C-alpha cells in the first residue's frame, strides 16, 4: 500500500507569513495529489488538487507543487490569515489512480497568529 509522510506535524506562523507543508509518498503509480483542510470539529474539505501531468497549480493564495521524480508534493499558503488555522492533510491515492480511495497523511496543525 501507499506510505505517506507529512512534515511538519505542527507549524506556527505570524499573520502575513508564508507556510509550506510537504508530503512524501511511496507509490510511483500515484497520479492524483489532493490537499484537504479540516477545521476543528468539522469535516475535511478539499482545498486544492493536482494531476501528475502538471507540476504546479495555483488558486489565489494557495498553490501545490509536485515533484514526481522525488515522490513528494507540497502545499504553499502565502499571506496567511488567522482563518487559515486548521489541520491540513495530504492524501495521495492508494493504488495509484483512484480519486476516492485515498491514503491520508498524519496531518499538519497550522496556527496563524494575528
Partner 1 sequence: DAGITQSPRHKVTETGTPVTLRCHQTENHRYMYWYRQDPGHGLRLIHYSYGVKDTDKGEVSDGYSVSRSKTEDFLLTLESATSSQTSVYFCAISEANSPLHFGNGTRLTVT
By CB under 8 A, name the binding residues for partner 1: 1, 34, 42-46, 49, 89, 91, 94, 99-107
Tell me the C-alpha distance between 29 and 15, whole Å: 37
Tell the smallest beta-carbon distance from residue 16 to partner 1 (Å): 29
Tell the smallest beta-carbon distance from residue 14 to partner 1 (Å): 27
Tell the smallest beta-carbon distance from residue 114 to partner 1 (Å): 27
Of 9, 20, 4, give the one whose Cα is nearest residue 92. Answer: 4
Residue 6 or 74 having the CB closest to partner 1:
6
Tell me the C-alpha distance between 11 and 57, whole Å: 22
Amino acid at each position: 500500500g501507499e506510505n505517506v509522510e507529512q512534515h511538519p506535524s505542527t507549524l506556527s506562523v505570524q499573520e502575513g507569513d508564508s507556510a509550506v507543508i510537504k508530503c512524501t509518498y511511496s507509490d510511483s503509480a500515484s497520479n492524483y495529489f489532493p490537499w484537504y483542510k479540516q477545521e476543528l470539529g468539522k469535516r475535511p474539505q478539499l482545498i486544492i488538487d493536482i494531476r501528475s501531468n502538471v507540476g504546479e497549480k495555483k488558486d489565489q493564495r494557495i498553490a501545490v507543487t509536485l515533484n514526481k521524480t522525488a515522490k513528494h508534493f507540497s502545499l504553499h499558503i502565502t499571506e496567511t490569515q488567522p482563518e487559515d488555522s486548521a489541520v491540513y492533510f495530504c492524501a495521495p491515492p492508494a493504488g495509484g489512480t483512484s480519486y476516492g480511495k485515498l491514503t491520508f497523511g498524519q496531518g499538519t496543525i497550522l496556527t496563524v497568529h494575528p
